[in-house]
């Protein structure tokens, strides 16, 4: 290296510095890919839908009345997500959903009992069934009705199928004789 001109040494240092900078940028880009939802706005990694717990809607909560038995509450709301042996008179219904393309949701409903009878139900403002379905829908409704049938004009525009050839007759002597399945 001592015999090389200074301009060659500067070029080598510049190339080395550029290579190191490019490598650091590439490593930084790899770590940022783990936290973003897409790569260059084109490739979106698949993320599974995570649904946990019981969906409790406004209609279900309206059916619950104080004095109902535990079995009646279970029939309407389903089995509770959490029961605690230290708080036997409390049932927790927890619902969470994380779905790509929609906002994550979390709701907690608590049923309090005295013995076998429901004392009260604590629930946040719950969505109706229609509101819940709309909140987890990935596509926004355009209000247009989908036409799933062809009208007469569209049916006439379809290409006609080719005429089917009559089936060829089976060659003579092509029948097979199989032994019986059970002894006679």
**What pLDDT, in 10s, does the model give residues 45-101?**
778 888 888 889 999 999 999 999 999 999 999 999 888 888 889 999 999 988 877
In the chain, how many domains are there? 2
Alpha carbon distance 23, 57 (integer Å)? 53
With beta carbons less than 8 A apart as the criterion, state whether 31 and 44 touch.
no
* pLDDT at residue 9, rounded to an integer: 67
More confident residue, 8 or 38: 8
Do the beta carbons of residue 126 and residue 61 sit within 8 Å?
yes
Q: Which residue would you say has higher pLDDT here, 115 or 146?
A: 115
Within-domain flag for 156: no
Tell me how far apart the alpha carbons of residues 120 and 116 are, in angstroms, rounded to a whole number. 12
**180 located within any domain:** no
Residue 67 and residue 24 in one domain: no
pLDDT for position 38: 56
71 and 108 inside one domain: yes
Structural domain includes residue 128? yes
Strands 117-122 and 82-84: unpaired
Same domain, 58 and 132: yes
CA 35 vs. chain centroid, Å, equals 19
Evaluate whether residue 149 is within a structural domain.
no
Do residues 128 and 57 lie in contact, with contact meaning Cβ atoms separated by under 8 Å? yes
% of the chain beyond a pLDDT of 70: 74
Do 60 and 128 fall within a single domain?
yes
pLDDT above 80 (res 157): yes
pLDDT tens-digit readout, 105-141: 899 999 999 999 999 999 989 999 888 888 877 665 5
CA 180 centroid distance within chain: 53
Q: Does residue 162 surpass a pLDDT of 90?
A: no
Residues 104-127, buried b or exposed e (16+ Cβ, 10 A)?
Answer: ebebbbebebeeeebeebebeebb
Tell me if 157 is assigned to some domain.
no
| Res 28 pLDDT > 90 | no
Predicted local distance difference test score (pLDDT) of residue 171:
61
Does the pLDDT value for residue 181 go beyond 80? yes
Question: What is the pLDDT at residue 33?
Answer: 47
Measuring CA to CA, which residue among 119, 43, 110 is closest to residue 83? 110
What domain range includes position 39? Answer: 9-45
Q: What is the torsion angle, in degrees rounded to the nearest 10, for the CA atoms of residue 137, residue 139, residue 142 and residue 145?
A: -70
Task: State the pLDDT at residue 34.
Answer: 47
Asked if 47 and 93 count as a contact pair (C-beta separation under 8 A), the reply is no
- pLDDT score at 174: 61
């Amino acid at each position: 290296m001592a015999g090389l001109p200074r301009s060659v040494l500067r070029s080598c240092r510049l190339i080395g510095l550029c290579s190191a900078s490019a490598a650091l940028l590439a490593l930084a880009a790899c770590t940022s890919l783990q936290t973003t939802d897409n790569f260059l706005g084109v490739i979106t990694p698949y993320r599974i839908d995570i649904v946990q717990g019981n969906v409790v809607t406004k209609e279900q909560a309206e059916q619950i009345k104080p004095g109902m038995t535990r079995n009646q509450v279970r029939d309407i709301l389903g089995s509770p997500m959490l029961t605690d042996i230290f708080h036997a008179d409390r049932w927790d219904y927890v619902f969470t959903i994380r779905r790509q393309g929609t906002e994550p949701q979390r709701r907690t409903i608590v049923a309090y009992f005295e013995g076998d009878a429901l004392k009260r139900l604590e629930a946040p403002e719950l969505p109706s069934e229609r509101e819940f379905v709309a909140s987890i829908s990935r596509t926004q409704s355009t209000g247009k009705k989908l036409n799933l049938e062809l009208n007469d004009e569209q049916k006439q525009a379809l290409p006609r199928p080719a005429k089917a050839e009559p089936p060829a007759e089976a060659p003579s002597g092509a029948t097979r004789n199989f032994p019986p399945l059970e002894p006679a």
